[in-house]
Amino acid sequence: MKLLLVLVSTLLLSSCASLFNPEDCRTDFRSPIPRTVLIDSTTIQVQPGKATPMAFVRGNQAKEAVLITDTRTDTIEVRPRWSEAYYFNFATCGIGFLFDGKTPKKWKYPSTLRLTDRYIDRHRKGADPYADYRYADKGSWNLHISLPYANAFYSAYGKENQWGAGFLGLSLGLSYHTSDKTFVNLSAAGILDSEIPIPVAIDYESPQVKDHRYSILANLSNNHLLLQKRLSLGYGLSYGYDTWNTIHHGIAQEGEKQENIYRTSHSLGFVFPVYYYTRRSFYLGMVYRPMLVQFAHGAHFKYQHTISFDFGWRIRLTR
């Protein structure tokens, strides 16, 4: 019953953008020099060292902004992006996207616009809207935060093997661009097979036996950017700490003997990440980790694997 209530609540709160986003959003304009900004028949004066706010009605259309100084006039486009609340629909296994798909509330304009010469050049009217998102300079560092949301396991231990699948996880990584089209990524991840796609505890009301799995992984991969730097294909090494436990839940009946089984091991193998970058920071994809060597009561060949379907954000640490 408790699990049913959790699922019903998830459905009722599934349209995150429609529920939590107001009709408009605020953008703060900043500029190193005095500028006059004209957008939608509204004029504001932007002074150095001071944020000047403007409210926009949410929508999927770019706003044309005219920037005026004493010496020049520029026209740029203020482009919308998906709001943070819209991404929260991943927490309901994507159900909320069905409700938020056509609402203008799923969009937002940048919270802050710094009107530097570089920003103006990249956002001029008619420029490629994704040129900045695809850009990866040689020598740049990026922080990666991703959520391995759905995970598939093929677990092996001794003479036992079993398939399993579930939800939830977290991955943190650091990447370095060795060229404009290649980068090296070092990451650590934790994945598990939770039965429901939101992080809540499950209370089993009747006695039953469940298998629970989780893995803690360290990955080092070399990655190549394709399709105008929108697609990355990688290969590398993976080292894991794997746990596969068989647990008796509920209260045992009189005279019944319950024995939980705990299996832990270390493993060494490969990692093959594939990601598609939809914007400068957001990406989604799949990570396949075939493990070939298991360290449990000695080292021996033992095939097992995990497959994670995840999404994440790339945060640039250098400019």
What secondary structure does DSSP assign to 17-84, as a single string? HHHH--SEEEEEEE-SS-EEEEETTEEEEE-TT--EEEEEE--SSPEEEEEE-SS-EEEEEE--EE-H
**Sequence-distant contacts of 93-98: CB under 8 A, at least 24 apart:** 93/10, 93/167, 93/197, 95/10, 95/11, 95/14, 96/14, 96/15, 96/16, 96/17, 98/14
Amino acid identity of residue 59, one-letter, is G
**pLDDT number for residue 315:** 85
What gap in Å lies between CA 248 and CA 250, rounded to an integer?
7
**pLDDT number for residue 270:** 98
What does the pLDDT average to over 169-184?
93
Asked if the model's pLDDT at residue 5 lies above 50, the reply is: no
**pLDDT number for residue 299:** 92
Tell which wins on pLDDT, 149 or 258.
149
Tell which wins on pLDDT, 32 or 12.
32
Phi, then psi, of 131 in degrees rounded to 5: -60, -40
The string of pLDDT tens digits covering residues 30-72 is 999 999 999 988 999 999 989 999 998 888 888 899 999 988 9
The string of pLDDT tens digits covering residues 230-243 is 899 999 999 999 99
Count CB-CB contacts under 10 A for residue 12: 10
**pLDDT number for residue 1:** 47
Tell which wins on pLDDT, 177 or 11.
177
Mean pLDDT of the chain: 85
Confidence of residue 164 (pLDDT cuts 50, 70, 90): very high
Q: Is 212 helix (H, G, I), strand (E, B) or coil?
A: strand
Asked if the model's pLDDT at residue 185 lies above 90, the reply is: yes
**pLDDT number for residue 2:** 46
**pLDDT number for residue 252:** 64
Strand order in the sheet with 24-30: 52-57, 24-30, 112-114
What gap in Å lies between CA 84 and CA 234, rounded to an integer?
28
Identify the residue whose tokens are 């959003």: 25
**pLDDT number for residue 175:** 95
Asked if 56 contacts 104 with a C-beta cutoff of 8 angstroms, the reply is no
Structure token digits, residue 195 = 């039965």
Asked if the model's pLDDT at residue 125 lies above 60, the reply is: yes
**pLDDT number for residue 190:** 96
Asked if the model's pLDDT at residue 90 lies above 70, the reply is: no
Asked if the model's pLDDT at residue 174 lies above 70, the reply is: yes
Which letter does DSSP use for residue 202 in this model?
Answer: -
In the chain, the domains with their CATH numbers are 2-129 (no CATH), 141-316 (2.40.160.20)
Torsion of CA 74, 78, 79, 81, to 10 degrees: 150
Lowest mean pLDDT across 1-10, 48-57, 85-94, 280-289: 1-10
**pLDDT number for residue 128:** 66
Confidence of residue 6 (pLDDT cuts 50, 70, 90): very low
**pLDDT number for residue 139:** 86
Neighbouring residues of 171: CB distance < 8 A, sequence distance ≥ 6? 144, 145, 146, 147, 148, 187, 188, 189, 190, 310, 312
**pLDDT number for residue 3:** 47
